[in-house]
């Protein structure tokens, strides 16, 4: 208490100044309309600016939930794309029952772990069996590039065998002429920005800049962009050529993916693994 009195007595002139200054300001604003108006306008401007910056900060903090909701909405929109709806084989121009005959639907998920520097890379996402994820489902990125396949599933998480994996092999084709090939990664050059397309017959003319897309064989829908040819003359020593391509996906910045649910996957698997009746 004694120290408080010493402090007040030492700086009493300053405190008296603050008191009388405050009283002067109050009397000036109370008795003069012009000064009162100027002060209120200035105060409102300062408060408005403060609230605006606070709202910007709040929006920044909520970006994660906003991105999640946008990813979910994109998954719904992708499901409605006409190109991914199974057409009626009797009417090639129209689509049959678009509400009940969708072959592909999409489940949005967020990447929580990703590797790109290993020989065999995996990606972990925040959706699992409780959300409808199953082993073997294909996965693409938010910009519709190829990501990989579901390798393992738990109730609320799933692991993707990335395209950047020595065992990943995806059926692709040349967009301009539908020539089939096999998309693989590595082949001695483990660059997350590039991959290779093998088993392209030598008689076809392939040029730098040609686009590679999925062929529709396997779990991926037909026509998903994969990359562009950067080298069309990789030697293989046989009747086939190997193409080096620049991938459309940037795996180093992957944040959201879409798991592709194929309603005909089980039927297709059973048919393709059914042994023919040999007589």
Over residues 79-104, the pLDDT tens digits come to: 555 344 443 333 333 333 344 457 78
Q: How far apart are CA 117 and CA 209, in angstroms?
A: 26
What is the DSSP code string of 165-228? ETT--EEEEETTT--EEEEE--TT---TTEEEEEEEETTS---TT-EEEE-SSSSSPTT-EEEE
Q: How far apart are CA 88 and CA 206, in angstroms?
A: 34
**Cβ–Cβ < 8 Å for 112, 95:** no
Task: Compute mean pLDDT per 10 residues along the chain, 279 residues long, and list them.
Answer: 68 70 70 63 56 55 58 59 42 37 82 90 93 92 87 94 93 91 80 89 87 87 90 71 90 89 79 68
Over residues 6-53, the pLDDT tens digits come to: 766 776 677 666 776 677 776 666 676 666 566 555 655 555 566 456
Q: Give the model's pLDDT for residue 124.
A: 94
Overall pTM > 0.75 = no
Q: Give the model's pLDDT for residue 85.
A: 42
Which burial class, exposed, middle or buried, applies to 64 when counting CB atoms under 10 A from its CB (0-12, 13-18, 19+)? exposed
**Cβ–Cβ < 8 Å for 82, 227:** no
Q: Give the model's pLDDT for residue 7.
A: 64
Domain boundaries, the chain: 2-60, 170-250
Q: Give the model's pLDDT for residue 94.
A: 32
Task: Dig out the tokens for 83 from the structure.
Answer: 């190109």
Q: Give the model's pLDDT for residue 112.
A: 92
Q: Give the model's pLDDT for residue 266.
A: 79
Task: Give the CATH fold of the 170-250 domain.
Answer: Thrombin, subunit H (2.40.10)
Q: How far apart are CA 185 and CA 197, in angstroms?
A: 9
Q: How far apart are CA 204 and CA 241, in angstroms?
A: 9
CA 264 to each of CA 150, 220, 245: distance values in angstroms, whole numbers, following the listed order: 17, 12, 30
**Cβ–Cβ < 8 Å for 194, 245:** yes
Q: Give the model's pLDDT for residue 61.
A: 54
């Amino acid at each position: 208490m004694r120290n408080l009195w010493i402090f007040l007595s030492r700086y009493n002139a300053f405190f008296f100044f603050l008191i009388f200054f405050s009283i002067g300001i109050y009397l000036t604003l109370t008795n003069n309309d012009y000064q009162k108006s100027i002060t209120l306008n200035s105060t409102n401007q300062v408060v408005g600016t403060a609230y605006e910056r606070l709202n910007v900060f709040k929006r920044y903090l909520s970006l994660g939930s906003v991105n999640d909701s946008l990813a979910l909405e994109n998954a719904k929109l992708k499901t409605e794309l006409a190109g991914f709806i199974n057409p009626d084989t009797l009417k090639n121009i129209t689509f049959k029952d678009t509400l009940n005959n969708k072959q592909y639907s999409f489940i949005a998920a967020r990447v929580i772990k990703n590797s790109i520097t290993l020989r065999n890379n995996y990606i972990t996402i925040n959706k699992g069996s409780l959300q409808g994820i199953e082993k073997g489902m294909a996965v693409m990125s938010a910009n519709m590039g190829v990501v990989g396949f579901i390798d393992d599933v738990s109730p609320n998480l799933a692991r993707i065998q990335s395209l950047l994996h020595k065992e990943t092999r995806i059926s692709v084709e040349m967009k301009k002429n539908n020539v089939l090939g096999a998309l693989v990664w590595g082949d001695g050059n483990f660059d997350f920005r590039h991959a290779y397309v093998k088993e392209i017959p030598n008689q076809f003319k392939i040029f730098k800049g040609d686009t590679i897309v999925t062929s529709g064989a396997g779990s991926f829908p037909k026509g998903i962009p994969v990359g562009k040819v950067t080298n069309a003359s990789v030697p293989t020593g046989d009747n086939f050529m190997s193409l080096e391509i620049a991938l459309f996906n940037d795996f180093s910045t992957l944040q959201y993916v879409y798991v592709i649910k194929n309603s005909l996957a089980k039927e297709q698997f059973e048919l393709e693994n059914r042994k023919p009746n040999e007589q």
